[in-house]
Amino acid sequence: MWKWQFFLSADRVYQEIPLADPFFPEWLQSYWTLRVAFLATVGSILISLVVGSRLRIACGLITFAGASVLCLHQGSYNDMTFVTAWWTALWNLWFVFRIDDDDQETVLRRAAFLSRLIISMILLGGAVGKWTAEYWSGEVFWDIYFRDRDFWVFNLLRQQYDPETLREIATWYSRKVIVIETIAGFGLWLLPAKWAASIAMVVLMSIALLSNFYLFSVLLSLVGLAAAGFFAGSNKPAN
């Protein structure tokens, strides 16, 4: 719901300017499918906060199904918001079936392990997409952010530095992002639960704080997922 205003505008535009791509079946082109999937996902999450175990399982199934549709629908598949929501919903679906197990210590330890495994995979995927000459040189970040993006970090840098220096900063900024995402992708899941939770939350929050506040719609579900590590009472192997 972080960018609900954008979603409202996108819904109106999607209805007024229909798209017809034969790659998608008709039901995955319908704006009613999109609306039902979105509202069902949000509603099931809210309901799950106040109901008992059985209904929580039903909500978990609805959340996962709704997020799956949003990842496949013509009007929403390209928004990473729904990809991270899907992985979080998958983790949640596992958790709601285990939440009442007698061995809570093991459940929480495995929950923390699965959460950091998912986050590592997503960060590694982001890093792999940036393993190109254009990203390593800073060209992509320069064009997207540093040249004229109206955001506090880049506005401040443009005020402080000349274009040549700013271009060099863009290069090292881009390389920093690639290195951090790569290291976190390969190594975050290997860390003790609480260390991994803390580092993951800092990395994820910094991505939005230092580039685009709208990215919180993508990252906040992962931040919540990372927080599972704080509830793990032991650093014994998760399995």
Q: Is the pLDDT of residue 77 over 60?
A: yes
pTM for the model: 0.91
- 212 and 120 in a single domain? The answer is yes
- What is the pLDDT of the chain when averaged over all its residues? 94
Q: What is the mean pLDDT of residues 127-133?
A: 96
- Dihedral sign of CA atoms 176, 213, 90, 77 in order: negative
Shared domain for 111 and 95, answered yes or no, is no
In the chain, what percentage of residues exceed pLDDT 90? 90
Domain edge (last residue) among 73, 100, 127: 100
pLDDT digits 0-9 by tens, 134-162: 999 999 999 999 999 999 999 999 999 99
What range defines the domain where residue 44 resides?
1-100
Domain final residue, candidates 51, 80, 100:
100
Which of 61, 79, 100 finishes a domain? 100
pLDDT at site 234:
52
Same domain, 82 and 168: no
Residue 102 pLDDT level (bands cut at 50, 70, 90): confident
Sole residue written with tokens 């809570």? 104
pLDDT tier at 187, thresholds 50, 70, 90: very high
Q: What total number of domains does the chain contain?
A: 2
